[in-house]
Structure 1
Amino acid sequence: MKFQTYLLGVRTSFRGEALVEDLKKLGIHPEIVWGPEAQIDSELISNHTNQEYCNFTINRNIKKQEVACCLGHLRMYRRFSESETEWGFFLEDDAILVLDPTTLIGELPITNQPLHIFVHDGPGTDLKLWRRSSAELSNLKLVRKLDPQYGAYGYLLNRAAIREILDAKIDTYINTPDWPYLWPKKIHFYHSKTTYISHPSDTSMSIIGERLNEASRFVSLIPNPKRVMEGKQLGINLGFVFYKEIYLKSVRIIFQVFKRIRENHDS
């Protein structure tokens, strides 16, 4: 088996029975990993909550359920690091299986390049204009992304990526499970053109509930040197906060400009 599947759930309110059965029909036997529970593990969650940092990254306080979710994902990564497989397939227990992902996963390479591949239907920013896909992935139906897709309910990480994530100790600074601000820079992000995993549109069954991330406001998308200094004061590595606040935001703007030019030219 080239990959191991992990399914994140909460022991007292597990929602993944149907997903487990659907996976087993495909010969995929997920290992269930229990995440912390917001009420029961309140002290653990409190120890990983820094609201000043969260207001810097997402312009709001983080919910304790979000912290629990992120810690749960980290538990899956640590469990994977103890295995001998090259790829980990990570799911949340309310994910919906759309198509069999085994063919795609079976074609993924063994590589020292840290790779993060999203197989769900969340949005993201393509990098078609100036960055090519890795030669090892060029024959697969994947699109290179600038940064992580929104949503953490269906994705793949290889062993090299897991190593980068755990070495970065991102549990010191948690701001959202999808995705932490301190996600390692070395990871290359891809998104499958084919949707394998979806998610319920009804948020009433969500453990986290409705989340309005104000970091997506226009003013938050503009490169701002002042935020570099604010991030440094919070203890974030200066090189990393410059990468997030200046480099990535500049690239997004340039990308949008070129995209508009290309669309106008095609029309």
Structure 2
Amino acid sequence: MNASQKTTATQSQKLMIFVLTMSLYGLATLFTELIPKFQIGLVEFSVEYFLFIPLTLAMLFDPLSAALGASTGELVFSEIMLGQFGGLGELEKFITVAIGVYIAGRLVKDPRNKLAVGAAALAGTGLQLFMGAVVDVLKVQFAVEDFEAVAGLPESVFATEGFAFLNDFLFSGILFCMLPTLYLVPRLYGKIEPLLGMAPRTAGAEGGVNLRVAGICVLGFVVAVLAELAATAGMALIDWEASWAESGTAMAAGMVVAAALAVIVLLALKKNSERNVAG
């Protein structure tokens, strides 16, 4: 390990982490739009998201940069570039995804610890899905949205949202979040950090969830709830949808831009790594 390398990221390194996460996760969210959904009885098999990408980067690098990059990537590439923007309604997913990824990244102090990586991936994914379910319950409880019963389940919003949470958590949460993260983090550890001129995180690295972190996340969730309630009640402020929204052309353009951005960042990282080795 180069003596000049540090485990903490500089501002320029955080920016690179942010852009890399934004482009890769943005590209992944566009791919999920193309994956069909299957339903057998009450159980729906659908890919909610490929959250393993920001989870992996959050555990290896700076959690906050990866978390904000993931939320921004989903907003830019799967919403705005597809010709739609829901104003305040976009805040709920933006904030809950950021909180889930951020908490998961902070929970892992040593990326070589597979048990910690797996548990953190499940915790981050479960937290994001749980917050989304709570928001949906509150929308019905505060009468800003009508309750839609599901055949075969008790006519209760708690039963409906609870079942949806378990369905997404057990399918997408394990198959497309926890397992890929558990595979990638230990294998990328020590190999990807030098690209940014950083040393790998060690067991003594700063992390964990203290009262300050928990308080900020709770405050963020409250903002997400209020924004979603306001948007559902008709106060989205900015609600825009283009005539070409979600068209094949928009989807292709979004994928090209996201892929190009990811390639540019990776090339810049490679060049930076070569410069560090030469130096």
After TM superposition, is the score higher than 0.5? no
Larger Rg: 2
TM range (shorter): under 0.3
Which structure exhibits the higher relative contact order, with contacts defined as CA atoms closer than 8 Å and separated by 6 or more residues?
Answer: 2
- Relative to the length of structure 2, the TM-score reads 0.25
More strand by share: 1
